[in-house]
Amino acid sequence: MPHLRLAPPVPTRPGVLLPRRDLAFGWGLLMLIAAPAWLLTAAQSRDMGAGPGTMGPALPLFLLLWVVMMAAMMLPSLAPVALTWAQAIRRGTSGPVQVLRTAGFVGGYLLAWTGFGLLAYEALAATGHVVDDHPGAGRWIGAGAFLLAGLQQFGPLKRVCLRHCRNPMSQLLRRARFRGQANDLRAGAHHGLYCVGCCWGLMIVLIPLGFMNVAAMAGLAVVIFLEKLWRGGPWLSRAVGVVCLVLAVLAPFQDWLLPGLRMSGPSMDGM
């Protein structure tokens, strides 16, 4: 009897061996969380407006707003990974327990971004103090933020972390075999740290564009989604890096590129 060889399953997305129907279900489920997060973010941005720094919230409220923002921006691109985790742990696990464990994975992912939020708060607060004392410095802070974001898009940390985010399967399956009550949280945080390493450069452009700039957040969310899930994601990453470097050159001379660093009142040119 001839030996039959079964062809391996074809990934529907980079590094994720899941049927399209399951992916659609996962995206739909996480969008139920992301959509209210977008609505809350948009409502808060109308109340806070635009300006330099943290625009008033103390650290606890800032972190709450930051987690809501990260849920809005990141959960759509996390859906295939979270669903892969759910598939990896389903053996011997009942439906409700599987949902709770997957929620723990997503919670660990957001915990990693909360840690980055602490750094973001300090950076925004320092920026606000500098711009309050020296309004003309805002244009150079903006240029520096765009420059750093552009350079990060071409750096080795970006390549390593983006490679993991596009192909997390092997590490997820390995971690799914671990035991312990906090394993799901640790696995989510582990993946979240790679995501932070991949996307921190894109996040710092919110310093010149505005911490609560919903249009900028939506644009970044689309870029992050395509970088991780689109076949041409690595090329898009480099193209975005070039755009950031161009903006770094233009920023000192174009105040409209710096809505998050403008003081209310006279323009930077008049300072």
Instruction: For the chain, count helices (H), then strands (E).
Output: 10, 0
Q: Quote the pLDDT of residue 20.
A: 61
Q: Quote the pLDDT of residue 94.
A: 63
Long-range contacts of the stretch 57-63 (C-beta < 8 A, 24+): 59/118, 59/121, 62/117, 62/121, 63/114, 63/117, 63/118, 63/121
Q: Nearest 10 degrees: CA dihedral of 173, 102, 37, 138?
A: -40
CA atoms in the 13 A half-sphere facing the CB of 88: 25
Q: Quote the pLDDT of residue 92.
A: 59
**d(C-alpha 93, C-alpha 139), whole Å:** 55
pTM equals 0.84
**d(C-alpha 191, C-alpha 168), whole Å:** 8
List per-residue pLDDT tens for the chain, 271 residues long.
444 343 333 343 454 445 566 566 666 777 777 888 888 888 888 877 666 777 777 899 999 999 999 999 998 889 888 888 877 777 656 667 777 888 899 999 999 999 999 999 999 999 989 998 888 899 999 999 999 999 999 999 999 999 999 988 877 777 776 666 788 899 999 999 999 999 999 999 999 998 889 999 999 999 999 999 999 999 999 999 999 999 999 999 988 889 988 765 443 333 3
Question: Residue 235: which of 225, 243, 227 has the closest Cα?
Answer: 227
User: Do 224 and 202 form a contact (C-beta atoms < 8 A)?
Assistant: yes
